[in-house]
Amino acid sequence: MARTYDEVLKDALSLTEEERAALAEALDDSRLTEEEREIKAEWDAEIDRRIADHEAGLTHGVPLEEVIANAQAKLREDREARRVRSRG
């Protein structure tokens, strides 16, 4: 006999947080095409590699404030360069 949505939901909500997260990811992945699954797998592998590099001390993080300041400076430079070019 098929289980109802409410029955499945009740069981899912009784899982641990980690199990619910894994279930949610599996359900989300089930909506992907084969090509999208391959791309996701490649991104997942890249994320795992970057985390491993960081944990091994091969890379370092940059404080958010520094990232924002650099991005804002770059935007100002780009706007100024466009303004200068538009004057001819």
Q: What is the mean pLDDT of residues 12-41?
A: 97
- Percent of the chain beyond pLDDT 70? 100
Q: What is the mean pLDDT of residues 50-61?
A: 96
Predicted confidence at residue 67, as pLDDT, reads 98
Q: Is 6 helix (H, G, I), strand (E, B) or coil?
A: helix
**8 confidence band (pLDDT: 50, 70, 90):** very high
- For residue 1, the model assigns a pLDDT of 78
Give residue 17's pLDDT.
98
Q: Which residue bears the tokens 């994320």?
A: 47
- Would you say 23 and 11 are in contact if contact means Cβ atoms under 8 Å apart? no
